[in-house]
Structure 1
Amino acid sequence: MFHFSGLTFILTYFCITTSIFGSIEKEPQCVSRFDYEFKVVQKLAELENKLKEQQQTIESLQHKCTGDVVSDNQVAFSASLTGDMTSVPNHRIIIFNEVQTNVGGAYNGKTGIFVCKIPGVYVFYWVTTNKDRTWMDSELVINGEKRGQTFSDAGNHDDYSVASNIVVAELRFGDQVWIRSGTWHNGNLAGSHRTSFSGWILYMR
């Protein structure tokens, strides 16, 4: 009976110690259960610290990458008309030839067309000016579709008349935006930077 109980005790002790200390190679070497639990907690703390360091590294990289993306995706332009326009036909694109600001290079001062390179929500603002008994209606157009309109009319006076409007629109890559003359006008616009077109991205999509 003694030999059986001793053998059972030895086997039981061997199984317990093996399962605790020897079954996993990466577990800490310990001399007691308290020592084992302490070292496990210590190991978990080390792993937690490493995870925090990795998280900080990831956040730092994300911040750098996000900063690069934002700087590469800023869009804003402002252009104006330098000379007076006369005899403008219906639906003629108004070319704001002097470009003061063109962050992102999306507005073309030779064609008068803004081409979306970064999908997102944009704000467009334009001003038309007429002088000395002339009048003009203008339209903001996106891909051939009228999205906004202005009308400036000096009436029967030798004076200036100004009109403006603003349009907020969601654009996809390649969408085109421009200002054109309408259909009720006598074909005149005042230059000297009194007629202008501006736009900027509100946020990306």
Structure 2
Amino acid sequence: MFNLSGLTFILTYFCITSSLLGSLEEEPKCFSRFDYEYKVVQKLAELENKQKEQQQTIEKLTNKCSSGADTANEVAFSAYLTGDMTSVQSYRIIIFNEVQINIGEAYNGKTGIFVCRTPGVYVFFWVTTNKDRTYMNTDLVVNGDECSQAFSDSGGQNDYSVASNVVITELKFGDQVWIRSGAWHNGNLAGERRTSFSGWMLYRR
């Protein structure tokens, strides 16, 4: 990331020094006091115009650096499970196949894995739904390590049950995050966009 205050100082110092040196080297030749004062005023006007141009250049560079940093921080996704899953094995990655938003293209709707491309602190939120006497526990996993769980259980009822959880974690470049089935479940998970996975960056590190 650019140090904008340092960049501004260097450019300003260079511009002022160049202007002063140019003034000394191009001292006007005068034939009278009036002629001398006129040419001095001319030179001051030229220096003022150069200073304005240099200030505009500094502002453009500053804005360019700032806009580049803001763009790098734009990471967010939201994905859903469209169809019911049955006979789910333990520790299987849940693929949320319908990706509605994917700013930064960090989540892959074909593999179900989020890959960090911008180091920072992230928030991940997921919802699981079960229906009609089924149950499912899921884990949020970072680089193969379980971070947290959610458990939804319809029990003995012909009804829906919902569970959710949220995790805040710091990620480095290349870190991977996904949702998987846990060890205690009967292999069923409801779709119809009732089961979802979302994430976004809080701030860059």
Q: TM-score, normalised by structure 1?
A: 0.74
Aligned to 1:107: 107
CA offset at residue 55 of structure 1?
Answer: 4.7
Mapped to 2, the partners of 1:116 and 1:25 lie a distance apart of 56
> The residue matched to 1:170 in structure 2 has which SS?
strand
8 Å Cα contact 2:81/2:191 also seen in 1: yes
Give the superposition deviation at 1:81.
0.4
User: 8 Å contact 2:127–2:195 — kept in the other structure?
Assistant: yes
Q: Deviations over 1:146-198 (max 9, x none)?
A: 11211111111100001111111111110000000111111110000000001
Distance 2:150 2:135 in 1: 11
SS in 1 for 2:183: coil
- Counterpart AA for 1:96: F
Matches of 2:126 and 2:59 in 1, distance apart? 41
Provide the secondary structure at the position in 1 that maps to 2:61.
helix
Runs ≥4 residues deviating over 4 A: 24-29, 46-53
User: How big is the shift at 1:54?
Assistant: 3.6
Consecutive unaligned residues in structure 2, runs of 5 or more? 1-23, 30-42
1:32 aligned partner: none
Deviation, 1:89, is 1.3
1:128-139 aligned within 5 A: 128-139=128-139
Work out the CA distance in 2 between the residues paired with 1:52 and 1:25: 21
Letter of the 1:163 counterpart: A
Q: Whole-Å Cα distance in 2 between the matches of residues 186 and 109 of structure 1? A: 24
3-state SS, counterpart of residue 189 of structure 1: coil
What TM-score does the superposition give when structure 2 sets the normalisation length?
0.74
Aligned to 1:179: 179
CA distance in 2, matches of 1:100, 1:81: 11
DSSP 3-state at the match of 1:123: strand
Long gaps (5+) in structure 1: 1-23, 30-42
Which position in structure 2 is the counterpart of 1:194? 194
Question: Is the 2:73–2:203 contact (alpha carbons within 8 Å) kept by the matching residues of 1?
Answer: no
Deviation at 1:72, TM superposition (A): 4.7
Report % sequence identity: 71
Larger Rg: 1
- The separation in 2 between residues aligned to 1:162 and 1:48, in whole angstroms, is 68
* Corresponding residue number in structure 2 for 1:19: none
